[in-house]
């Protein structure tokens, strides 16, 4: 399965609804915006690899107090200062702090991209599950509609027999009760159906009040879904990919924390024009400049850097454990739904046999009742058993379709880790440098 996995069910209405998620689902838009934020963080961190140039022109007029003791020659005089400075600052990434920051941002961005795919898969799967639940209720409604018609005929038969003196009034009351109870069940199905319809409207980004799905009984069968080998699951689940990228990001954060033990080396410089008047401000003799390196090293911080490094290692260990837990959970979900499909298929076959037996029993009871051999109580018992078996059969089919959806979701919905945003040439270069540095450190 690739891309539009829901098409394997062969339901055009489902296909139309699934397409709306990509356009109108608001939660998916939130996840997409969060991915764009994470991607922009890469650009923010990468900008530290380049110098920062700033300019701050200013014009100042000042008058020194006549009573200023320090500058008696300038006392009471007004002077001006015209300044056009350009400041250049560049941090030398000697210890890999910036490279590790870029690496962490890149891995977090890819984790966010995988989160987006996880959200997309979850919404599509939820809509499919709600849709099949709704269609299952349509089947229940169709079954109850046909049952009400049959019960009405049985009630008419009982009334005719009562009019002919062949049945008691109690049997008429029993038939009326049976009919009215089934009608109430028929109405109750509409409540659950409306709730599923509203849930689908929310997923499709449509107002519930103006959204409707025409009734149609569930007449599909679960498709054959190849599970593949277990190792493929690690590449096909976006949540596993996200967990793996977060492990890599946490590893990069350790490098960032460790770089704080080394001095910060900065190359700085400033140049510009400075004058006392506007006439001599923008002239060559008004130029000035200053340039030189600087280094700063923390001599004592009461264990702050050590604590930050320990914190980074703890976060890395937590992400490792989270990744392993995610993998184990994925395998469990796949096996749960494979077992569910296998068991439900056997249960469905047996239930169909039960339905056929119940229908034969009901037909025999009706014939015996028409012949005056039994009371209507036997017919009611057979009717209840037949209706219960048929509703159970519909419920099993709905559960099988839902298990198919859950299995597809557990398998990643046809997604693959290769679908993550590709790295740019700069990303690859920085990653290679950081990887070589980690190898040397080991």
User: Could you tell me the two tokens for 123?
Assistant: 């919404």
In which residue ranges of the chain is CATH 1.20.1600.10 found? Answer: 5-50+94-261+303-441
**What are the residues facing 275 on neighbouring strands?**
82
Q: Which of 238, 205, 256 is nearest to 95 (CA)?
A: 256
Contacts 24+ apart (CB under 8 A), 357-360: 358/382, 358/385, 358/386, 358/389, 358/390, 359/386
Q: Which of 116, 350, 136, 61 is nearest to 245 (CA)?
A: 116
Q: What is the pLDDT of residue 136?
A: 96
Supply the pTM of this predicted model: 0.82
Cβ-based neighbour number of residue 239 at 10 Å: 20
Q: Reduced to 3 states, what is the DSSP secondary structure of residue 27?
A: helix
Regions of the chain with pLDDT less than 70: 1-2, 66-77, 227-231, 422-442
Domain 5-50+94-261+303-441 has CATH 3.90.170.10: no
In which residue ranges of the chain is CATH 2.20.200.10 found? Answer: 51-92+263-296
Cα–Cα distance list, 119 to 80, 113, 183, 323, 435 (Å)? 62, 10, 40, 18, 31
Q: What is the pLDDT of residue 232?
A: 74
Domain 51-92+263-296 has CATH 2.20.200.10: yes
Give the C-alpha separation, 387 to 381, whole Å: 10
| Sign of the torsion formed by the C-alpha atoms of 435, 437, 438 and 442 | positive
User: Could you tell me the two tokens for 260?
Assistant: 């704080």
User: Could you tell me the two tokens for 144?
Assistant: 């109850």
CB 189 within 8 A of CB 9: no
């Amino acid at each position: 399965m690739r891309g539009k996995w829901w098409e394997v069910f062969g339901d055009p209405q489902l296909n139309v609804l699934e397409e709306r998620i990509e356009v109108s689902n608001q939660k998916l838009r939130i996840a997409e915006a969060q991915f764009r934020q994470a991607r922009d963080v890469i650009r923010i961190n990468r900008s530290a690899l380049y110098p920062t140039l700033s300019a701050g022109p200013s014009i100042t007029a000042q008058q020194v107090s006549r009573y200023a003791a320090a500058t008696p020659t300038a006392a009471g005089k007004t002077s001006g200062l015209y300044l056009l400075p350009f400041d250049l600052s560049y941090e030398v990434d000697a210890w890999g702090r910036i490279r590790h920051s870029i690496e962490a941002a890149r891995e977090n961005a890819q984790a966010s991209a995988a989160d987006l795919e996880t959200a997309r898969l979850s919404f599509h799967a939820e809509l499919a599950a709600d849709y099949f639940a709704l269609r299952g209720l349509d089947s229940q409604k169709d079954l109850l509609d046909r049952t009400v018609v049959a019960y009405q005929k049985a009630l008419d038969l009982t009334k005719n027999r009562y009019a002919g003196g062949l049945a008691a009034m109690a049997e008429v009351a029993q038939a009326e009760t049976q009919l009215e109870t089934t009608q109430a069940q028929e109405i109750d199905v509409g409540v659950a159906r409306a709730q599923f319809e509203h849930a689908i409207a929310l997923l499709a980004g449509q107002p519930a009040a103006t959204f409707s799905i025409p009734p149609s009984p569930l007449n599909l069968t679960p498709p054959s879904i190849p599970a593949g080998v277990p190792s493929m699951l690690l590449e096909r689940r976006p949540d596993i990919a996200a967990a793996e990228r977060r492990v890599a990001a946490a590893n990069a954060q350790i490098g960032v924390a460790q770089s704080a033990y080394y001095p910060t080396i900065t190359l700085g410089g400033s140049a510009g024009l400075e004058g006392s008047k506007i006439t001599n401000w923008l002239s060559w003799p008004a130029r000035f400049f200053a340039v030189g390196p600087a280094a700063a090293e923390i001599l004592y911080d009461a264990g702050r850097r050590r604590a930050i490094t320990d914190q980074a290692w703890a976060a890395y260990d937590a992400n490792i454990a989270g990744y392993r837990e995610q993998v184990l959970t994925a395998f469990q979900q796949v096996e749960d739904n494979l077992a569910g499909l296998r068991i439900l298929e056997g249960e469905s076959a047996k239930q169909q046999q039960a339905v056929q037996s119940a229908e034969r029993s009901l037909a025999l009871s009706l014939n015996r009742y028409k012949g005056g051999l039994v009371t209507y109580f036997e017919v009611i018992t057979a009717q209840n058993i037949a209706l219960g078996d048929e509703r159970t059969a519909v419920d099993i089919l709905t559960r099988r379709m839902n298990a198919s959806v859950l299995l597809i979701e557990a398998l990643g919905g046809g997604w693959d880790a290769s679908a993550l945003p590709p790295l740019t040439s700069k990303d690859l270069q920085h990653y290679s440098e950081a990887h070589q540095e980690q190898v040397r450190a080991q």
